[in-house]
Amino acid sequence: MELSRYFEGYEGDIKENVNSYVSEIRNFFKTNNYEEILKRKQLKVILASIEILKEDIASFDYDSTEGYDYLSTLLFFLKGFLGQLQDHSRKELVNDFVYIYNELAAVLRAKPSYLTETNQTNYEKLKTIMVELEREMANLFGIKRFDPTTNKFIDYITFDIKNLNVFNYILEKYPYLVNSLDINNIPLIERVLNRYISELLRYVYHPNLGPIDDLIYFEKVYKTIIASDKIKLDDSTRKVLLTTLLDTQKKYKFDSNVQKEKFNYFIYNAIFATKGQFVEETLDDLNYKYEIHDKFSSSINLESKYIISKFKKMQDAPTVDRFILTFDGKDAKEIDDALSISEEDGIYKLGVHIADPMHFLDRSSSLYLEASRRTRSLYMGNSCIPMYPSEISRGIAGLNEGVTTFALNYFFDIDKETGSLIKMDINNKPIKVNHNMTYSEFDHILKHGTDDKQIEDTIRLLNEVNKYTGAIYDMSDIYKVFHHDNFQGSGETTIANAMIYTNYNISNWFYKNNLPFIYRCHAEDENKIATLESLKTALEELHRDSNGLINIINKLSNIYPKAYYSTKNTGHEGLHLESYSHCTSPLRRMPDGENSMAIKKFYISNKYTDDDIRRYTEYLEKCASESNSKRSTLDDYEANSNELVRKYKRSQI
């Protein structure tokens, strides 16, 4: 290609003998004569280097023994020189680099089917050059090319995987993907904004505002792209984004002021971000945005007081005849599980006693509806935003020492020699906990003993039966990495294993009897795996494995998805169990409470009709969906609020 078109306005000696400059600069690179390169005019080196790339890639010979090491060095120098040019000068060279990129891709696709040692060396060198072009040149010039395969990859990451950490990694390593156009010449950020608006409308038009997980995700992706210094948002694109937001703000009408306020909050947040003015969020902002209420309304507080007064006589009720202990961390806010155990004729008589807050509630009550909306308690450092008012969760429904309260009592007869489950039974009767204890006390007594023989015998037997309760599952290595509730000591492990044992046996009973229940599922998504494999094959055919996308797909394929709630049992891959559920933490998780209602109906009373099965299935499906739809949001709230607290503490130092 004629280079003189670039030299207009420059000295005459640069405009002459262009071909000799190319030969000269190539020779300097081949002989590692970098001092002479640095002596030459920058523009001269830039233009000659571009022509060298074009010529040498076009004539690339896989069998050449001369080698192509100098091209990588050339690219390194070229990147440095280009960085010193003005933006408008760099933009003049975009077409040349697109041309080089396309030629390089064609040569990679044409590699010999059988590679000799020389072939392989040259092929690897060519892949290295491609990496440099993709990482540096495409980003430097804001190249936006439609590529069906890589475009499908970035769309799948953004709109299907929906993992912010993965998206951020792609943006950091391969910004040219995020900065690409689709087949209709629409940039990714416009497609993200359209999805954000769609999720916002779904959220505000929902009768009770929700679900919100996808809305928060796409808001974060949108702001991440806007804020990135690796994405070149030109003025025309920014103007399109602002126009879309402003038109949306004027277009929609709402039945309530709450809907309008929420809608405007998210729209104006996006408008400020698009203008590059990011609004710093306070804890109050987070509470408003995520619909988190750290306090309960006066109406719900009054209802709680009424419930407490209604059950005053409960303290006189007969209780389960067991020596019952609780074990928790020293800062536990809600105590909802307890244990008892004895040994008779070679059989461990294990009792797992679980708080029963649903015993005090009516499904039509405001208190119940508020707990359903919250779905679970939130924990931020030493503070807690409970699912129920503290008078309920830490009071009347909590398993507090010396206080009578209702519980679901699970009884397991376990063979001392074999560990096999001989019999399981459940009742719903009041209990009175003898002592509230900690994990550290469990460990200390197990090692050193205590003067209280009942406590010591109970802890000793619980430690013995642990080898059987812990043997029913096998936590996979990958699940351990991503599971946040890793057990720290003997006491904590013993109690956790007893709860897993309970959750497994109850869920298994419901599964085998085909009765409605909320399962805790953890299964590989076969459709996701198939899609990832398809993308991997397509990228391999294009020889795009050099840029690391294949490695990302391999990692995504081997990371388990998050566990989720469902009335359809698919097993729990992370624990290697055919069925699993959550039943043992009803004070801090709503699905546990809903499952307690199913246990009372179908196991304890054992009186139900086909219509009961249908109604419970529909209701539990709704509860599972509600909890699933808020999981990411609640996790995000906990992380954000904890970070705000840390910032505040640092500012006080």
Least confident span in 218-232, 350-364, 507-521, 549-563: 549-563
Please give the Cα distance from 118 to 62 (Å, whole number): 7
Q: What mean pLDDT comes out for the span 540-560? A: 72
155 or 556, greater pLDDT: 155
DSSP structure class, residue 136: I
Do residues 407 and 359 touch, judged by C-beta distance below 8 A? no
What is the three-class DSSP state of 42?
Answer: helix
pLDDT value at 525 more than 60: yes
Who contacts 301 (Cβ-Cβ below 8 Å, separation ≥6)? 389, 391
DSSP structure class, residue 295: S
Could you report the per-residue pLDDT of 332-350, keeping only the tens digit for each? 879 999 999 999 999 999 9
Could you report the per-residue pLDDT of 410-453, keeping only the tens digit for each? 999 999 999 999 999 999 999 999 999 999 999 999 999 999 99
Could you report the per-residue pLDDT of 26-44, keeping only the tens digit for each? 888 888 888 888 888 877 7
Do residues 357 and 595 touch, judged by C-beta distance below 8 A? no
Do residues 398 and 334 touch, judged by C-beta distance below 8 A? yes
Please give the Cα distance from 462 to 459 (Å, whole number): 5
Report the percentage of the chain scoring pLDDT > 90. 50
Residue spans of the domains in the chain: they are: 4-141, 148-289, 298-524+560-652
77 or 462, greater pLDDT: 462
Could you report the per-residue pLDDT of 492-519, keeping only the tens digit for each? 999 999 999 999 999 999 999 999 999 9
Do residues 609 and 521 touch, judged by C-beta distance below 8 A? no
Do residues 93 and 141 touch, judged by C-beta distance below 8 A? yes
Report the percentage of the chain scoring pLDDT > 70. 89
Question: What pLDDT is recorded for position 15?
Answer: 43
Instruction: Of 76-85, 161-170, 266-275, give the range with the top mean pLDDT.
Output: 266-275
pLDDT value at 75 more than 90: no
Burial 395-427, CB ≥16 within 10 A → b, else e: bbbbbbeeebbbbbbbbbebeeeeeeeeebebe
List the structure tokens of 402.
């010396």
Could you report the per-residue pLDDT of 259-297, keeping only the tens digit for each? 999 999 999 999 999 999 988 888 899 999 988 988 999
Beta bridge partners of 208: none
pLDDT value at 566 more than 90: yes
- What residue type is 400 in one-letter code? N
Could you report the per-residue pLDDT of 353-412, keeping only the tens digit for each? 999 999 999 888 999 999 999 999 998 877 889 999 999 999 999 999 999 999 999 999
pLDDT, averaged across the chain = 86
- What residue type is 222 in one-letter code? Y
